[in-house]
Structure 1
Amino acid sequence: MFNVLWGGAFVVVNFALFLLCYRLFGRSGLYAWVGVATILANVQVVKTIEFGGIVMTLGNTIYATIFLATDLLNEKFGERAAKKAVWVGIFTLIASTVIMQMALVFEPHASNLAQPSLEAIFGLLPRLALGSLAAYFVSQLLDVKIFTMLKKAFPKPGQLWIRNNGSTAISQLLDTLVFCSIAFLGAAGFPLDVWWQIVLTTYGIKLIVSVASTPIIYWARGLRAPDT
């Protein structure tokens, strides 16, 4: 029960910080958010928790806000701005992976206590990064394309919920399958039944967060932010 209650607060905080980032920094804030969220999602995903009796990984909430950011960019600034955010996320993921793998190679001082913890968190990063990079690249570009198509089919301001939820529901299904297959399928500690639970719960949580984010994207669209 604690994880369920804490999870609700966790979602609220993620959404609040997303809105604050956009309100303070405008379009630049959305690009910055994509970069930060990409790193944090890949750090959080190494932690599995029990949520309502099912096994799931962390990282789903903040990862879902990346789709929220690209959809908001597409809505207000067009497809080109949204694609730029996708490339920002890809560069951030590659850069953080390369830098942290090099950092792990340094021989720690005898008094150092951080190395085992860093290895536990970032030692899995190459496989996670490969899965995340493949999933992110495919799903985000698909999300941008579907959002653009839906924007032409449902152009009214009040139909934003169709554009947002429609593009995210399809793209995040592909994202979940690609990422979980590369990152966890066949990995030690992740038997097939656990893998399936992670796939189902990951997509389920992403879908719930996507639906819950609908008022957030309407709210964000109406904010007076810098460079908007």
Structure 2
Amino acid sequence: MFNFYWGIGFVLVNFCLFLICYRFFGKNGLYAWVGVATVLANIQVVKTIEMFGLVMTLGNTMYATIYLTSDLLNEKYGEKEAKKAVWFGFFALIMSTIIMQMVLVFNPLQEGDLAQTSMETIFGLLPRLALGSLCAYFVSQFLDVKIYSFLKRVFPGRNQLWIRNNGSTAISQLLDTFVFCTIAFAGSELYPFDIWIQIVFTTYILKFVVSMASTPFLYIARNFKDKSE
């Protein structure tokens, strides 16, 4: 049960840091959050954990905050600004992938280097993870923005924010999970089919639960005043 209780604390810390980032840095802070969250989520996803007897990967909480961010941008600033954040996340992931692959090529010091092996373990998988993430990110994030904009027109009430947020996320994250897990993990010797199925199932459920839990924080963030306004 340790992972469960620690996971609750982990989720709360992520959401609180998100609020702090927006409170102090405004709209620019949201763009920065998307960039950082995109990179960190793709590093965390390498680590697998067990919870309730099921295998799942980390990174889901951080990745869910990207949906939270794009929904907040769409809610307060419009669809154009939300799309801008999506493109910024694209750039951050491509940039980090290219740079870290070049870093791995450097010949390490034969005696005394402590980082090369660990970095190869983590970032050696990054190209495949990045490809899966980019494809999933592209289709799901833009779908999320479109669905949110549609729901915003159908359910425009201020107290209907939870419908717009959870409705758009439920559909877009399903597509995101399937695309990412297929490209990143399917056919890998490290992830046989039964493990892959568990990862797909737990990843989607966890992402959606975290997204639902983020709704109160979205309401809080909506009431913040951007200092640049």
Q: Same fold (TM over 0.5)?
A: yes
Q: What's the TM-score once normalised by structure 1's chain length? A: 0.99
- 2: CA distance, partners of 1:185 / 1:225: 43
Q: 1:189 Cα shift? A: 1.2
- 1: CA distance, partners of 2:169 / 2:91: 22
User: How many aligned residue pairs are there?
Assistant: 228
Q: Is 1:75 aligned to residue 75 of structure 2?
A: yes
Question: Aligned residue for 1:66?
Answer: 66
Does the residue aligned with 2:46 lie in a helix, a strand or coil? coil
- 2: CA distance, partners of 1:191 / 1:102: 30
- Counterpart of 1:183, as a letter, is A
Question: Aligned residue for 1:209?
Answer: 210
Alignment of structure 1 residues 152-191 onto 2, 5 Å? 152-191=153-192
Deviation string, structure 1 residues 150-169 (Cα, Å, up to 9, x no partner): 00000010010010000000
- Counterpart of 2:228, as a letter, is D
- 2: CA distance, partners of 1:226 / 1:183: 40
Deviation string, structure 1 residues 160-201 (Cα, Å, up to 9, x no partner): 001000000000000000000000000111010000000000
- Identify unmatched segments of 5+ residues in structure 1: none
- Counterpart of 1:28, as a letter, is N
Identity %: 68
- Counterpart of 2:203, as a letter, is T
Q: Is 1:21 aligned to residue 21 of structure 2?
A: yes
Kindly report the root-mean-square deviation, in angstroms, between the aligned alpha carbons of the 2 structures: 0.6
Q: Is 1:220 aligned to residue 210 of structure 2?
A: no
Q: 1:225 Cα shift? A: 3.0
Q: 1:227 Cα shift? A: 2.3
Does the residue aligned with 1:4 lie in a helix, a strand or coil? helix
Q: 1:224 Cα shift? A: 2.2
- 2: CA distance, partners of 1:26 / 1:173: 30
Question: Aligned residue for 1:114?
Answer: 115
Q: Is 1:149 aligned to residue 150 of structure 2?
A: yes
- 2: CA distance, partners of 1:163 / 1:81: 17
Deviation string, structure 1 residues 85-144 (Cα, Å, up to 9, x no partner): 000000000000000000000000122111000000000000000000000010000000
- Counterpart of 1:27, as a letter, is K
